[in-house]
Amino acid sequence: MKTAILALLFVVTFSTPVVASAGHESGNGGDAVASEFIITAVDLVDRIRDVGETRVRFGALLNAIATTEVHSVDDALSLENGLVVDALNFPKRKLILVNRARWQSLDSSSQLVARLVLVLHEYLGIMGIPDRQYRVSRTIVQAMDLSNYKATWSGIHNPTHFASLRFQGKKTRYSSNLEFDPVKSEELSSAVVIDKDGGWRKVVIQKETTAQVENGSLLVFHTFAIRVFDSNLNVIGESVLKPEDCGRRHCTTGTITVADVTIKFSRF
């Protein structure tokens, strides 16, 4: 029997501020490794529910994903006994550090089980569930049907690749449109749009990756915070857009007008 989902809305922000811990530092914005790690965890949620696992409470795992920050590092990670590991979890700080090189070495299909076991192991640590020698995490993953597994860590719910800009109701003479990478969890981009009379606006767009529970599923999607500046670099408008999943290629995922600039988001 599937575990009932509490009527709660968890929001996860894939933030990447610099965080120091035991001599290690995180990367900067656009941390694809951290994004992959969290999205892998999101994928595991439904799979754990489907196999009827009782050692891991569904709601507790959702809460761990929603409240734990993940950062990737270049430095080697090691336990107190000196053993080098792929990742470390810090339950009191709600923090997981992942070594970039070791995570990327698990990218092949032959390493799928190892990748899933690692992710589950770290979140079990955050939840306070003992998992010595990966005994619990490996048993759970091995019970899953992975024969037709399709990796979802690059599958954002509302992938968006481009943002085109134009003046509302005016003839746009020039616009440097923006391009986004759906695999990156966080991006900061800016563009300038100029009208036929020489007036111009600067548009700054901050992309973030979030996840939330909707109708029993944990969905991962992008949001875009938009700020528009006038020719004196004063903020004249700001808003946030969560594009829709248009369900096909070469389609518009969202359109918004901020101040006097219209921005259309689209995918390949």
Count of alpha carbons within 13 angstroms of residue 110, beta-carbon side: 1
Looking at the structure, do residues 206 and 254 belong to the same domain, yes or no? Answer: yes
* Whole-number Å distance between alpha carbons of 164 and 184: 19
Average the pLDDT over each of 11-25, 26-40, 248-262 and give the range with the smallest value.
Answer: 11-25
- H/E stretch holding 90: strand 87-90
What does pLDDT average to over the chain? 79
Specify whether the CB–CB gap between 122 and 68 falls below 8 A: no
pLDDT of residue 27: 34
Same domain, residue pair 170 and 134:
no
Please classify residue 67 by burial: count the beta carbons closer than 10 Å to its beta carbon, then call 0-12 exposed, 13-18 middle and 19+ buried.
exposed
Q: How many CA atoms lie less than 13 Å away from 128 in the CB half-sphere?
A: 4
Binned at pLDDT 50, 70 and 90, residue 45 comes out as confident
Contact yes or no for 121/114 (Cβ under 8 A): no
Based on the fold, state whether residues 17 and 126 are members of the same structural domain: yes
Cα dihedral sign for 92, 95, 98, 100?
Answer: negative
% of the chain at pLDDT higher than 90: 36
Number of structural domains the chain divides into: 2
**Coil/strand/helix, residue 118:** helix
**Amino acid 218: pLDDT:** 56
If asked whether residues 19 and 106 sit together in one domain, one would say yes
For residue 193, give both structure tokens. Answer: 């749009």
- 67-76, 128-137, 164-173: segment of lowest average pLDDT: 164-173
Does the pLDDT value for residue 51 go beyond 60? yes
- Tell me the two tokens of residue 197: 């009379």
- What was the pLDDT predicted at 170? 74
Domain-embedded: residue 5: no
Tell me what pLDDT residue 148 has.
Answer: 64
Say which residue, 15 or 220, is predicted with more confidence.
220
Beta-carbon-side half-sphere exposure of residue 38 (alpha carbons within 13 Å): 36
Residues 28 and 71 in one domain: yes
Decide: 266 and 253 in contact? Cβ < 8 Å.
yes
In a shared domain, residues 38 and 116: yes
CATH number at 40 reads: 3.30.2010
Which tens digits make up the pLDDT trace of 177-230? 899 887 677 789 999 998 877 789 999 999 987 766 555 455 677 889 999 999
Q: What is the pLDDT of residues 112-130, one digit of tens each?
A: 889 899 999 999 999 999 9
CA–CA dist 243, 35 (Å, integer) = 18
Position 10 scores a pLDDT of: 37
Number of C-beta neighbours around residue 42 at 10 A:
19
- Does the residue 150 lie in any domain? no
Residue pair 192/200 in contact (Cβ under 8 Å)? The answer is yes
54 and 17 both lie in a single domain: yes
User: Which residues span the domain enclosing 31?
Assistant: 12-142
Q: pLDDT value at position 29?
A: 42
